[in-house]
Amino acid sequence: MDFQPDYNHILAVMENKRPKRLPLYEHKISPLVMEEIQGESFAELEQGDDSDLDEFFRQYSRFYKEMTYDTVSFEVTLTRSLPGHGAIYGGMEGPIQNREDFEKYPWDELEERYYAVADRKFAALCKSLPEGMKAFGGIGNGVFEISEDLVGFEKMAYMMADDPELFAELFARIGDLFVALWERFLKNYSEHFAVCRFGDDLGFKTSTLVSPKTIRQHIIPQYARIISRIKKAGKPFIWHSCGKIFTVMDDVIALGIDGKHSNEDTIASFDEWITRYGEKIALLGGIDVDILCQNTPESIFDLVVEKATQYRGMANGYALGSGNSIPEYVPAEGYLAMVKAAQHIRQQEASV
């Protein structure tokens, strides 16, 4: 099939307009799923030297092109560069438990630590982008997730009660770090990125993980600092956040975000997201990860054709993809059925 990628379709989505053809979008695709589909193993090259990295991204970007995306999603997560990282996964304490830990944490080294890893990857990615494509992403993780990694979710709840001043300073310090990281990112890579994004899971099945009041007081102001930098650099911004976060959506929309990603059917149907916010921002995704895991490729295809046609009709800016990501446990055939459904919709529209 003769597919010409064009990131302008995604830019149209970000302007909350209906692009000429239905674009695909994915937050993350496990390289293991890519390997299975491409029939070539390359995932491990991401850990290798510069020429390995070049080869990794050649395969990585080629995959997005072959699957008929207009942009290549990529981020380098911050958590991995944090000394003492791991509390976000649970089962351990983070490196900051009290003021002394906070004071002696090597905050000033974090930017360099991050870019020591990230620069090589971003540079290799930028080189690999096929004609007509740009990258979509940036610095992985958001303010809340970093606090979960530095302190630990449960310990953070205790810190909030026991030392509210430290709790407040922690968020401000994380905000400073992100501002520095994003400024450098925008300076060096914005030309190659069509859209910037960060992911910060604020919710779960029944509500936000911390109260809306805490989010407004400590998290939103830091988002504002980051998002204003991104917008000043002329880049659209999309926010990825899981869970039932309706109570803070208006606050985040007020920061000038252009789009939102992540949805789960057990929380709300995707049409509810469109009905609530479709006038104001673009909405990406729509297909619950469960659907891709639990159905036959045939029924996924039919279901996605039906749902994506509906979403494209309802929303202004919409791009089709999973509600979260394609982790390694999503069957390759299930994922491919979704991609084929997108292509089918495009063909149908083109033939009318």
**Interacting residues toward another protein by CB under 8 A:** 89-91, 153-154, 156-158, 160-161, 204-211, 214, 264, 266, 289-290, 293-294, 327, 329
Residue 36 in contact with residue 223, Cβ under 8 Å?
no
Nearest distance, CB of residue 201 and another protein, angstroms? 11
Encoded amino acid at 107, one letter: W
Q: Whose CA is closest to 229, among 268, 256, 211?
A: 256
Stretch that binds ligand B12, among 41-49, 187-195, 307-315, 323-331 (CB under 6 A): 323-331
Verify binding: residue 215, ligand B12, rule CB under 6 A. no
Residue 247 in contact with residue 208, Cβ under 8 Å?
yes
Nearest distance, CB of residue 350 and ligand B12, angstroms? 32
Q: Closer to another protein by CB, 115 or 204: give it.
A: 204
Verify binding: residue 289, ligand B12, rule CB under 6 A. yes
How many CB atoms are located within 10 Å of the residue 134 CB? 21
SS3 label, residue 146: helix
**37 contact, one of another protein, ligand B12, none, CB 5-8 Å limit per kind:** none
Nearest distance, CB of residue 314 and ligand B12, angstroms? 21
Verify binding: residue 243, ligand B12, rule CB under 6 A. yes
Q: Whose CA is closest to 235, among 129, 118, 121, 138?
A: 138
Stretch that binds ligand B12, among 6-14, 38-46, 88-96, 110-118 (CB under 6 A): 88-96
**323 contact, one of ligand B12, another protein, none, CB 5-8 Å limit per kind:** ligand B12
How many CB atoms are located within 10 Å of the residue 197 CB? 27
Taking the CA atoms of residue 17, residue 200, residue 75 and residue 49 in that order, the dihedral angle to the nearest 10 degrees is -170
Tokens of 119: 């620069």
Verify binding: residue 89, ligand B12, rule CB under 6 A. yes
Looking up tokens 């309706």 gives: 246
Q: Closer to another protein by CB, 12 or 29: give it.
A: 29
Q: Closer to ligand B12 by CB, 54 or 322: give it.
A: 322
Q: Closer to another protein by CB, 124 or 202: give it.
A: 202
Q: Closer to another protein by CB, 127 or 205: give it.
A: 205
Tokens of 305: 């054709």
Q: What does the alpha-carbon distance between residue 186 and residue 193 come to, in Å, rounded to a whole number? A: 9
Q: Closer to another protein by CB, 188 or 269: give it.
A: 269
Please report how many Cα atoms fall inside a 13 Å half-sphere around the Cα of residue 116, on the Cβ side.
8
Nearest distance, CB of residue 183 and ligand B12, angstroms? 26
Cα–Cα distances (Å) from 151 to 84, 240, 321, in that order, read: 10, 22, 33
Stretch that binds ligand B12, among 3-11, 49-57, 103-111, 203-211 (CB under 6 A): 203-211
- The helix (H) or strand (E) run that includes residue 51 is helix 50-66
Tokens of 210: 């911390």
**214 contact, one of another protein, ligand B12, none, CB 5-8 Å limit per kind:** another protein
